[in-house]
Structure 1
Amino acid sequence: MTTPTTSNAPTQADGVIDWLTNGTRDERFIDNIFAQMCIRLQQAGIPLKRATLHVQINHPQWLGARMIWSEGMTGAEIARVDYDVRERPEYIGSPASEIIEGATELRENLEQDPSLGRKHAIYGEMRAGGLTDYVAWPLYHTLGKQHVVTFATDRPGGFDDSHITALKKLLPVLALVSEIRVKNRLARTLLETYVGSHAGELILAGATRRGTGTTVRAAIMICDLRDFTKISDNWPRDDVIDLLNDYFDAMSEPIARHGGEILKFIGDGLLAIFPLQHPDACADLLHAVTEARQAMTALNERNSGTGRAPLNYGIGVHVGDVMYGNIGSSSRLDFTVIGPAVNMASRLEALTKQLGRPVLLSRDFAELVQPKFELERVGQHAVRGFSDPIELFAYHG
């Protein structure tokens, strides 16, 4: 199996290259493009049996993704790749690791005696699957970003020279097409990560002008950790970061699960909304609070095993109209909510410590969830910044 020098002569991939260049403009997802490309290569006479595309995304929870296509599939199977993959046996010494570390091509004759070839479990798996030849190349994106594409066949004798020439010829176009989709996905991921999924969609759709926004009616939830200054002053930095991450996981995951949107983390606090365009938004908020409290109880039990004091917190909940949009300086914007309703939720959160109730609800909110939820009336209380006393309710979840 020898690899020839690529020529400018027409190849079996020319029609696929034209399709990649001109026929994929309306397809957002690279996995769909990759699967369709493999099918078209087969139709052009290249005996593909299996192909993979490995891309680095740098999502907060995972490093990248691996797309796998096999003969007979109409789409590609996607598997997430964790950040610790480089420490795992399935990666160390693998074709992907060799390419990422600088190899410009890997070719493996899977028909030869295994003792004569490269030693890695993936080669044994491919042989067991009846594959005869395997090739891997880097896909170069701008600014030094490097990804990996692989092709395999079960054709006796493996790929011939014309097949390799055709596959190599489409690599630059595949790199361009994949880079656009990967960067689109990265932009979407970054926006979802830092401003939330709904705000991210609005920003991608063009809602970027300062001062623009809409008025929405929403249930507002503000949560804050108690005694954080004392903790941060006395604990090692890494322990403080781990604590905050565990605390935010406990609070945030139920909010996302029940349809809320976290708009920002403020030190050791968070601001979330549940838009009332969803009829069960207020109930969803309380379900999220219930699950968050259960998660905090479990977290405190785990922490007590290491001698750490329990974490205390306060949650204030109100409902009302808020302005939802872009606020900030001419060069730095924040996509958030503002208005008296947000201020009220913040004041209620502050009162939780004074009144000894971890979760306080305004009467306006309580009226929307009673009698479905059991609430404790805690009377009328003065709220800083508001002229009249506010009737408050506690929720014990």
Structure 2
Amino acid sequence: MVQPTEIRPQDVTSVDNEGIWPVRRSRVIDWLINETSNERYIDNIIVALCDKLVEAGVALDRCSVHFRTHHPQWHGARVLWRLGMTEAKITTFAYGVENSPQFVNSPINAVFQGAAEVRTELEELDEFDDYYAEFKQQGYTEYVAWPMHHTFGRRHVATFVTKRVGGFRESDIIALKDVLPALTLVTEIRTKNILARTMLETYVGPHASEQVLAGAITRGSGSTVSAAIMICDLRGFTHISDMWPRDDVIELLNAYFDAISEPIERHGGEILKFMGDGLLAIFPLDKDQACLDLLQAIREGREAINALNDANRDGARPHLDYGVGVHIGDVMYGNIGSRKRLDFTVIGPAVNIASRLETLTKQVKRPVLLSRAFVDMAGCEDIDRLGSFLLTGLDEPVEVFALR
């Protein structure tokens, strides 16, 4: 076994002494750089870091880190620690918060806009604005905010606040500034991981994203999954697209997908893809209630579409109709595509039958059609038997039921 080489002070060249960081070496920085690689979550790192700073004698009573995110719902997130907290508080902020007066006039925005430092002695404020009022009322004496510079110009913010009489000591400021570059590196790694996960969950769904992140990235990789499958399609979308302005069509389509999708996700289904004006979702059968969950999602989606149509009765938006085909069976779940462009999806005869049932809704004028195989497993009661139909591409007829 090769023994590590011991570095003696006399062996260090003059070049090694020309750097400017850190101003003071500390065990906190050593820990942050060398001992956090196994910690996945930023909030846990921030709590441990703040505890270690306090143990090292830094007069720190509150810390927050503010990230601007790439997320379809959230503009940003804040991780907050206060002295005595064993877990950080994570708060997300929706799009539009960046235009609120409270944010626009905040030191956080000042740093986002380019300030290198915002340092405020709260004890010295006779008149203070709304942002600092709560801090002063809680006994804090000094507030400082600095930028954290990530790659590609991404700028985030770290704040530190103390209750020490007289504010931070100069040694406290040096210690906090020394920690900041290391904290910046550590948080960037985690935010990149979060970004990758968020992007994958946004575009392929949570289960598929987990598989991709776990290494299922080669063409043909995947597994066989037993699932209840539903395919939903909006009726008359071509006519709507031709007759309505583009922005109205997009808004309408998003409202339709919200109505259909939210119940699916709420009841444990996974939307694998949106296909123009349609979607493909599965409910894996490893959950005993999968079929009942799918039916409940359809019912709630139907109620949401009805509410949307009621709101559009004044003619401001067109009436929406849709068709749903439901079947059950084993499907291949994995990567399909060309050598360089893959799609994580499901294929198989069960998917084809669900698709043919959705198409059949146009002919029989019933919006939700179920196969005999699904009905038998789900134990459906509120259904009507429509008969057996020879679906396109199948050799044998399929017994079809309509959900009331």
TM-score, normalised to structure 2's length? 0.93
Decide whether the 8 Å contact of 2:24 with 2:178 is kept in 1: no
Aligned to 1:158, which of 167, 174, 181?
A: 167
Poorly superposed stretches of 4+, deviation over 6 Å: none
Partner secondary structure for residue 304 of structure 1 = coil
Which deviates further from its counterpart, 59-68 or 120-129?
120-129
Partner secondary structure for residue 102 of structure 2 = coil
Shift of 1:196: 0.7
Counterparts of 1:46 and 1:395 in 2: how far apart (Å)?
Answer: 66
Shift of 1:381: 1.4
Counterparts of 2:137 and 2:247 in 1: how far apart (Å)?
Answer: 46
Counterparts of 2:149 and 2:23 in 1: how far apart (Å)?
Answer: 23
User: Unaligned regions of 5+ residues in structure 1, if any?
Assistant: 1-5
Decide whether the 8 Å contact of 1:36 with 1:75 is kept in 2: no
Residues 193, 7 of structure 1: alpha-carbon distance in 2 compared, 3 angstrom cutoff: closer
2:182 paired residue number: 173
1:213 paired residue number: 222
Partner secondary structure for residue 311 of structure 1 = coil
State the one-letter code of the partner of 1:10: R
Give the 5 Å matches for 1:57-76. Answer: 57-76=69-88
Decide whether the 8 Å contact of 1:94 with 1:120 is kept in 2: no
Aligned to 2:30, which of 2, 12, 18?
A: 18
Q: Deviations over 1:46-103 (max 9, x none)?
A: 1111111001122100111011111110111010011101111220110110001000
State the one-letter code of the partner of 2:403: Y
Q: Does structure 1 residue 38 correspond to structure 2 residue 50? A: yes
Aligned to 1:277, which of 280, 283, 286?
A: 286
Shift of 1:306: 4.6
State the one-letter code of the partner of 1:97: N
Q: Deviations over 1:102-159 (max 9, x none)?
A: 00001001011333xxx53121111111100010000000110000000000000000
Q: Does structure 1 residue 387 correspond to structure 2 residue 403? A: no
Q: Does structure 1 residue 355 correspond to structure 2 residue 364? A: yes
Partner secondary structure for residue 256 of structure 1 = helix
Shift of 1:217: 1.2
Residues 230, 141 of structure 1: alpha-carbon distance in 2 compared, 3 angstrom cutoff: same
Number of equivalent positions = 385
Shift of 1:8: 4.9
Residues 387, 225 of structure 1: alpha-carbon distance in 2 compared, 3 angstrom cutoff: same
Shift of 1:9: 4.6
Q: Does structure 1 residue 81 correspond to structure 2 residue 93? A: yes
Which deviates further from its counterpart, 299-308 or 172-181?
299-308
Partner secondary structure for residue 300 of structure 2 = helix
Q: Does structure 1 residue 56 correspond to structure 2 residue 65? A: no
Shift of 1:307: 3.5
Which deviates further from its counterpart, 305-314 or 141-150?
305-314
2:119 paired residue number: 107
TM-score, normalised to structure 1's length? 0.95
Give the 5 Å matches for 1:294-373. Answer: 294-371=303-380, 373=381
Decide whether the 8 Å contact of 2:388 with 2:398 is kept in 1: yes
Counterparts of 1:33 and 1:54 in 2: how far apart (Å)?
Answer: 14
Counterparts of 1:162 and 1:187 in 2: how far apart (Å)?
Answer: 38
User: Unaligned regions of 5+ residues in structure 2, if any?
Assistant: 1-19
2:149 paired residue number: 140
Decide whether the 8 Å contact of 2:23 with 2:174 is kept in 1: no
Counterparts of 2:227 and 2:360 in 1: how far apart (Å)?
Answer: 21
Partner secondary structure for residue 111 of structure 1 = helix
Q: Deviations over 1:303-323 (max 9, x none)?
A: 223533310000000011111
Partner secondary structure for residue 168 of structure 1 = helix
Q: Does structure 1 residue 196 correspond to structure 2 residue 205? A: yes
Counterparts of 1:388 and 1:163 in 2: how far apart (Å)?
Answer: 78
